[in-house]
Amino acid sequence: MITIIPETFPLAEVFTIARGSRSAAAVLSVRITRHGHAGRGECVPYARYGETQDSVAAQIASLPDAVTRGQLQSLLPPGAARNAVDCALWDLAAKQAGRRVWELVGLSEPGPLITAFTLSLDTPAKMRAAAAKQAHRPLLKIKLGTPDDMPRLEAVRAGAPKARIIVDANEGWTAAVYADLAPHLLRLGVEMVEQPLPAGDDGMLSEIARPLPVCADESCHDCESLPMLKGKYDMVNIKLDKTGGLTEALALREAARAMGFGVMVGCMVGSSLAMAPAVLVAQGASIVDLDGPLLLAEDRMTPLEYDAAGVHPPRPELWG
């Protein structure tokens, strides 16, 4: 039986990107019960990709109760609905076998990973204060994508002078703006810029200098995306809500590496249940951005552990 559960997790603070603000994470969790075992998965429907809570729930409800992972790949397209079900099926398989998912997949035992911590878009003064509060973290991610990005970036660097920094423009720049900002990003020690141009309008990235690595986010969903990214991007950001689950995420990771792309593993703002399978994908990634639970006011029972070593693999009680 497949059960769909809408859930809301309040955020610790209002979270803002170039597209808008939110004060809570609205997720859908899936529970699949078979022969006395239950597996769980979570997804975050995302309006940028035409998803709503209702549309994603309808996709999940359309599936047969006995759906397999193999059938799922053709029954649903890449996206949030397939992600929740795919991850729930992996969790179910692990519980039925009495083994961990990483063992079933044939991966090495996962370990903790240093993750980025994301600073919400705000005024330069508030972003400097937020950076100072989080300056102990080794890697900060800054949300940009507005006409006033440089004062914000300067403020964050002043607030956290020793932290590594990556930036996410969320499709908010033009090629001219990126070319103008790139030298300043380098001067301030930024290591990578994520999705500077709109997906579908990013062809100029193959024609202009890329003095620091450029990572595809909205432009990269699954393995079929990769051929169109060659020559434009240096890295790809793998998110399970884009790939449609752990199955495709692992395939995308290997295909991206084979094509010479660096790998970043990111997330939507969700609970530890959503991050848990992504921790497996993130093993060996160049950049890990699995901070969703750190932005919540409260998380699930048996949450992921975050400490100085980073985000730790999930315990069996949570997932996998």
Helices (H), 193-270: 240-243, 246-258
Active site residues: 143, 239
Closest-CA residue to 178 (of 191, 166, 169): 169
Closest-CA residue to 288 (of 149, 191, 199): 191
Scan for tokens 């006395």, then name that residue: 36
C-alpha distance from residue 253 to each of 35, 72, 197, 233, 312 (Å): 33, 19, 23, 15, 20
Q: For 252-258, which contacts have Cβ atoms below 8 Å and span 24 or more sequence positions?
A: 252/220, 252/222, 252/223, 252/226, 253/281, 253/285, 255/223, 255/226, 256/226
Whether 142 and 167 have beta carbons less than 8 Å apart is answered as yes
Structural tokens at position 201: 């309008």
Cβ atoms within 10 A of the Cβ of 63, count? 18
Burial call 95-131: b when 16+ CB within 10 Å, e when fewer: beeeebbbeeeeeeebebbebbbbbbbbebeebbebb
DSSP 8-state class, residue 281 = H
Whether 306 and 312 have beta carbons less than 8 Å apart is answered as yes
Query: Residue 302, SS3?
Result: coil
Query: Residue 118, SS3?
Result: strand
Query: Residue 82, SS3?
Result: helix
